[in-house]
Amino acid sequence: MAAFSFRVTKKDPKTRARLGIITTAHGKIETPYFVPVATLASVRSLDSQDLEALGAQCTLANTYHLHLRPGDNIVKKCGGVQGFMGFNKPIFSDSGGFQAFSLGYGMEHNINKLGNIFPEGKKTAEKKKSMAKITDKGISFQSVYDGSWHFLDAKKSMKIQSHLGSDIIMAFDECTSPLSDYAYTKKAMERTHKWAKQCLKYYDKKQALYGIIQGGWFEDLRAQSTEFISSLPFEGIAIGGSLGQSKKDMHQILDWVIPQLDSRPRHLLGIGDIDDLFECVERGIDTFDCVSPTRIARRGSLYVCPESGGNVSNKFRISIKTAKYKSDKKPIDPRCSCSTCRNYSRAYLRHLYTTKELAYNRLASIHNVHFMLSLMEQIRSSIKKGTFSRLKSKWLRKKK
RNA sequence: GUGGCUGUGGUGUAACCUGGCAGCACAGCAGACUGUGGCUCUGCUAGUCCGGGUUCAAAUCCCGGCAGCCACC
């Protein structure tokens, strides 16, 4: 049996928020926690020393991408993800199932899992060709790197993840679109259930396997999937799939699913806006992962506390490229203690951004990741002190 | 001085010959991004060197000016 365990150390009396500790062979993770995403064994633009300096407790790598490049056998030879990237802490890995969606339906229909399907502009981007085909056996993918076709199924995903040597692995699943109808969502869910059992059979027992609940935004399917997945001997439970077409839908889905779960750790796949951390911790989520903080950092959006004056449309962000920061000597967020904020001004970061200096990506990513991790720390401490709800309302209060 | 060529948003250009909604790229301005293929996507601002003529209609044709470049004295 794996050196894996999870212990809930405190429950918030007013909500389902809880404090816990995940223990793995590579160390502990204090929860609730936001897991920075390192798809290709690197949090894009950061190295493992940066992650250490940020105090990251763990990271999450991707099966599909590392299988294609450099190849999971190479990662294995180099000591697994930990050895390969020089980061000796717990590693999560995603199963590659999500890429069936993001490279298949998602690409074809230009949609993401949260269903922002009606872009502001009238001209919807032209459809692109799907790069994935799904059958009951598994998923055929076209490599995003060279166009060659590859096949992934539950057994192979388990094998690859074993080579990656991650501490916590995800079952092979099919993520559906918010546009998928009931019949298709049901079919995908049943496939995911079948694959879940195969994963349990084939996975490397030194690793901890999380089962993934699907069912889209249909209440009875979510209930079925919750019951089925949690009846199996997974070490943890992940919630995946389409989470509806709005944050309200997502909250509703969590409220259907989480009360039916036992005390095993719960991971919410692919979520992580600032407000989501509060809403989802409140509903009982222990860990999240999301590319958003690093992706938006590279594209010019940097996190700030509401009191530090964010954008009109989003009080948790500033757009560093905006002209008003041209000669602003303040740090990104005067309340932030990250190394970027301690050393550099908005004016300098804007300059690096507009001149496309590579240092910008790193400094911006350091800030956004630090911001998320530090917010999670505040959340944990508030649960400990019993002030979670107060902290949440302080952050999410509507502007008058 | 004489002759020729060229003048289109901030920049580079298309439409000129054959008159008919001035298009594109970059820059600028603003926004988006949720289990990372892609520093990507979506909006917006901004222009016919000046004056006259012909015409229903002129960036486009004609005349004059101005500016730049080239050649010859």
Provide the ipTM: 0.90
Q: How far is the CA of A357 from the C1' of B50 (A)?
A: 44
Same domain, A245 and A285: yes
Helix (H, G, I), strand (E, B) or coil at A27: strand
User: Measured CA to C1', what is the nucleotide nearest A312?
Assistant: B31
Q: How far is the CA of A1 from the C1' of B33 (A)?
A: 40
Asked if the structure places residue A75 within a domain, the reply is yes
Same domain, A162 and A245: yes
Same domain, A172 and A50: yes
- Work out if A299's Cβ lies within 7 angstroms of strand B: yes
How confident is the model at residue A116, as a pLDDT? 61
pTM (2 decimals)? 0.94
Asked if the structure places residue A247 within a domain, the reply is yes
Helix (H, G, I), strand (E, B) or coil at A36: strand
Q: Which of A244, A266, A290 is the last residue of a domain?
A: A290
Same domain, A247 and A378: no
Q: Which of A258, A290, A322 is the last residue of a domain?
A: A290
Same domain, A367 and A237: no
Same domain, A184 and A260: yes
Same domain, A265 and A305: no
Task: Judge whether A54 and A369 are in contact, CB under 8 Å.
Answer: yes
User: Measured CA to C1', what is the nucleotide nearest A214?
Assistant: B35
Q: How far is the CA of A125 from the C1' of B43 (A)?
A: 14
Asked if the structure places residue A113 within a domain, the reply is no
What values do phi and psi take at A7, rounded to 5? -130, 130
Asked if the structure places residue A149 within a domain, the reply is no
Subset of residues 126-145 in chain A with CB less than 7 angstroms from any atom in strand B: 128, 144
> What is the residue-level pLDDT of chain A in tens, covering all 400 positions?
558 999 999 999 999 999 999 999 999 999 999 999 999 999 999 999 999 999 999 999 999 999 999 999 999 999 999 999 999 999 999 999 999 889 888 888 888 888 764 433 333 445 678 888 999 999 998 888 888 899 999 999 999 999 999 999 999 999 999 889 999 999 999 999 999 999 999 999 999 999 999 999 999 999 999 999 999 999 999 999 999 989 999 999 999 999 999 999 999 999 999 999 999 999 999 999 999 999 999 999 999 999 888 887 889 999 999 999 999 999 999 999 999 999 999 999 999 999 999 999 999 999 999 999 999 999 999 999 999 999 999 999 875 4
Same domain, A33 and A167: yes
Same domain, A167 and A266: yes
Subset of residues 260-279 in chain A with CB less than 7 angstroms from any atom in strand B: 269-273, 276
- Tens of pLDDT along A86-141? 999 999 999 999 998 898 888 888 888 887 644 333 334 456 788 889 999 999 98
- The rounded distance, in Å, linking the Cα atoms of A180 and A59 is 31
Q: Where are the alpha helices (DSSP H) in A243-335?
A: 247-257, 274-282, 292-298
Does residue A12 carry a catalytic annotation?
no
Strand stretches in chain A, DSSP E = 5-11, 18-24, 27-31, 33-36, 59-62, 91-94, 132-134, 139-142, 149-152, 168-170, 208-213, 236-239, 266-268, 287-290, 301-303, 317-319
How confident is the model at residue A109, as a pLDDT? 82
Asked if the structure places residue A242 within a domain, the reply is yes
Query: What residues are paired with A237 via a beta bridge?
Result: A211, A266
What values do phi and psi take at A154, rounded to 5? -60, -45
Which of left, alpha, beta for A337 (phi over 0: left; psi -120 to 50: alpha)?
Answer: alpha
Does residue A289 carry a catalytic annotation?
yes
Q: Which nucleotides of B are covered by protein (CB under 7 A)?
A: 27-43
Q: Which of A266, A290, A314 is the last residue of a domain?
A: A290
| Of the candidates A368, A261, A350, the residue with the CA atom closest to the CA atom of residue A6 | A261
Same domain, A222 and A370: no
Q: How far is the CA of A122 from the C1' of B9 (A)?
A: 25
How confident is the model at residue A127, as a pLDDT? 63
Asked if the structure places residue A118 within a domain, the reply is no
How confident is the model at residue A122, as a pLDDT? 33
Which of A72, A173, A276, A289 is flagged as catalytic?
Answer: A289
Q: How far is the CA of A337 from the C1' of B1 (A)?
A: 74
Residue length of chain A: 400
How confident is the model at residue A2, as a pLDDT? 58
- Work out if A119's Cβ lies within 7 angstroms of strand B: yes
Question: Could you give the number of structural domains in chain A?
Answer: 2
Same domain, A179 and A270: yes
Asked if the structure places residue A86 within a domain, the reply is yes
- CA dihedral for A124, A128, A131, A133, sign (positive or negative): positive
Task: Judge whether A146 and A187 are in contact, CB under 8 Å.
Answer: no
Asked if the structure places residue A330 within a domain, the reply is yes
Same domain, A380 and A316: yes
How confident is the model at residue A105, as a pLDDT? 84
Q: How far is the CA of A124 from the C1' of B28 (A)?
A: 25
CATH number for the domain harbouring residue A91:
3.20.20.105
Subset of residues 32-61 in chain A with CB less than 7 angstroms from any atom in strand B: 37, 39, 43-44, 60
Containing structural domain, residue A340: 301-385
Question: How far from each other are the two terminal CA atoms of chain A, in whole angstroms?
Answer: 54
Q: Any residues with CB less than 8 A from the CB of A120 and at least 6 apart, and which? A: none
